[in-house]
Amino acid sequence: MNAPDRFELFVLPEGSKKVTVTKDTKIPNASVITILREDHTVGNLIRMQLVADQDVKFAGYRMPHPLEHNINIRIQTYPNSTPLKAMEDSINLLIDEFERINTQFNNQVLRKKNMTDTYI
């Protein structure tokens, strides 16, 4: 009866923004980036990429509530960078990486298909 709608998992509520950035008032170079309607798939992916960045002092993500499908990514950087720059860099690197996986996968599938064609 009071079950939440199933589409709440991935449909962005009307009028809300997918990404919001809140600066930390107490710590320099720190921000919390809230992404609506995403989960551990993206959260862990971005977090691991941020942690690999030399300019990032701290990066972590959490899902504040299991029934609200949003994640918070908290980033603190060294003074030579900003959290937003680190976030942008990480996402760009990840897009690059998946682009490479995509082309490699396509090539491999083509090669496999050609191979089976010639053997039959």
Compute φ and ψ for 7, nearest 5 degrees.
-75, -10
Calculate helix-pair angle for 83-119, 40-51, nearest 10 degrees: 110
Residue 16 contacts another protein per CB under 8 A: no
Residue 22 contacts another protein per CB under 8 A: no
Residue 59 contacts another protein per CB under 8 A: no
Distance CA(60)–CA(74), nearest Å, equals 5
- Site of interaction with another protein (CB under 8 A): 6-7, 9-11, 17-21, 33, 35, 38, 40-42, 44-45, 47-49, 52-54, 84, 87-89, 91-102, 104-106, 108-109, 111-113, 116
